[in-house]
Structure 1
Amino acid sequence: MSRQDPAPPPPGGVLWSLAGDIRGLLMLPAALTMQVAHPAVGAGVDEHSVFRTDPWGRGERSLRSLQLWVYGGEAAAEEGRRLRRLHRTIQGTDTRGRRYHALDPQYYSWVHATGFPVYRYAACYLYRPLTEAQERQLYAEWLQVGRILGIHDRDMPGTIEEFWPYYRKVLADEVEATAVVEDLIATDRPVPPPDRGPLLIRVPLRVLWPVVLPLFARFRRFVTIGLMPPEARAAIGLPWTDQQERRLRRFGRVVRAVVPLLPERLRYLPPAREARRAARAARRDSP
């Protein structure tokens, strides 16, 4: 890492706890759906992504990238550069007739910005509500991740107080139920069976996929809409009932009770486990 490279968030921070915990997997669909609800972002994904033909590979690559931003150390900045190179050629015209480029600050920043309100809201169900101090720390760490991705400070609100007006304006002026949003929450679209992971799981899943897919699709829709902040859900026009809210609260209570009891090898994703192990070793070796 050069002296000019932004550093990832510090060990022991709020993101350090949230991003690598398996509960984070439940939050990602809500953030992704908010991102592609912006017509320019949705058009870019619709025209340039392989999320329909290779959803598992696309998801694995996105998750690996996110883990590097937080736990990658010196590799974090290089991952940010790789992502910018990948997005340089992504451009076109959105459904409102506007030209877009994936690295245009207003679009690139929105993609990143969605993570903060989703982490903040979903934590109330899957962990516990963040304190005001934790919210401020989370936002500061999310800005730091943005620097890794090449987002300039001038292109993101610098404080929480500045974030919420920006966020509400994008919700009011931009987001809608794009074609990609509809795909991500649909329960009747074809999805290929998982093509990665342990053979002991992958092979039976391939056989049982016609039975498993409808259950998976309904659960994906449930957590995508349910863990999305209500103001974003309403702006996009996604339905959510009182009965679904009660189910989500029951689900959250089970998750909060079970996940903390899991051993570290099951509770944390591999990059987070390795980073946590390295941090403990560094503390032991320090004078």
Structure 2
Amino acid sequence: MTYSSTVNSLPGTTGTPKLYRDRTTPAVFRGAALHWPAVQQWTFNRIGALAPDLPVNLVVGNREKDPTQFTASTLGRYTDRLARRSSPQESGLYLKEFDLLTQFPDLRHELRQNELFPRWSITSSSAWMGPAGARTGLHHDFLDNFAVVISGKKRFLLAERGSVEMLGKVSDKYDSWARLSFVSFEEIVHSRSPFQLFTVDLMPGDVLFVPAFWWHEVVNLSPSILLSGFFGSSPRVAVKWATVKTRDAMHYTGLIGRGHCTCHGHRPCHGRNGAPPVHGKAV
């Protein structure tokens, strides 16, 4: 895909993620997590072997922009497909927002997340596992995020906050911790947007800081595992938590987003893959 000159490559940032002070601009820290045991040791086969019969719901296609669909599988069956590299027909099946660290808490010892988050932050992590070609449509999250690539290669396409709003293309599709877009990143580029636009390819061990309210679209360039780390100060998270819980209650009773949300397709909404209470949509 070729972009116009309005899209810049996101340059690498010196220093460490934890000491990064500019919370308004994306930043990539090359190799910042390369020394983590998880980056060295996690494979699809290893994760699948932890609970091969564990039921999981796989997202079909680009649910941020298209109708939400799920298909049932097991962790072992799905990770085996990823390890063997799925066929083009399977590239649309994506395990998103999987609560990996709650399911397998011993894996926390193979991370070094204290190297990422500012002191006193409230944090929540989820995993994204999928084949080459799997995509997360354009959206923004309500909390800051450190995205860590554990394995594989991913591309992030980033559009400055306000860019989708200026086009009047914010979607009314419901998502607890994010806002979605009617348009893709490519459509923003073609609109000759005056906002900042970036692209960045991430390799294992790379860490990307995505500020809250920055729009981003994500595509897997190879089968990959990504761990998101959403975070914020206690007051900020508390306010957002209260707002989200109120809206969730209205959603679950059918008052808003009925039949038009990311959390279910054609069945009642009961949550997603054990999603944690504070999470977003990265990938």
TM-score (norm: length of structure 1): 0.28
Tell me which protein shows more strand as a share of its residues.
2
Tell me which protein shows more helix as a share of its residues.
1
TM-score (norm: length of structure 2): 0.28
Query: Which protein has the larger Cα radius of gyration, Structure 1 or Structure 2?
Result: 1
